[in-house]
Amino acid sequence: QKEVEQDPGPLSVPEGAIVSLNCTYSNSAFQYFMWYRQYSRKGPELLMYTYSSGNKEDGRFTAQVDKSSKYISLFIRDSQPSDSATYLCAMGKVGFQKLVFGTGTRLLVSP
């Protein structure tokens, strides 16, 4: 069993939809939870990160962490075609050191 599980998709939604992306994990030592966006043939770009449990909002993006369930989510409101990319969750025990990534979920937003 992988430490971090993420559905690879693809997830197809119409423009304007609310998107929910999720990851589960098994290692309770993880304290830092990140979401990266990766366009084709580009490096991952950090969207948001949170420490421990709770919610964090940044514009159209909201990240949620539920450590009791070992479950994290990223919500995208008013999705745009430019949001079409692969979304990677990542987790660490100490900040950004030695991150463990999910496989990534490919998101397709159609106009």
Partner 1 sequence: GAGVSQTPSNKVTEKGKYVELRCDPISGHTALYWYRQSLGQGPEFLIYFQGTGAADDSGLPNDRFFAVRPEGSVSTLKIQRTERGDSAVYLCASSLGQGMNTEAFFGQGTRLTVV
- Residues of this chain that interact with partner 1 (CB under 8 A) are 4, 6, 8, 32, 36, 41-46, 49, 51, 88, 90, 94-104
The distance in angstroms from the start CA to the end CA of the chain is 37
Residue 111 vs residues 29, 92, 107, 108: alpha-carbon distances, Å: 41, 35, 13, 10
Nearer to partner 1, 12 or 78 (CB): 12
> Closest approach of Cβ 99 to partner 1, in Å?
6
Closest CA to 50 of 26, 75, 77: 75
The nearer residue to partner 1, 58 or 94, going by C-beta atoms, is: 94
Of the pair 81, 95, the CB lying nearest partner 1 is at: 95
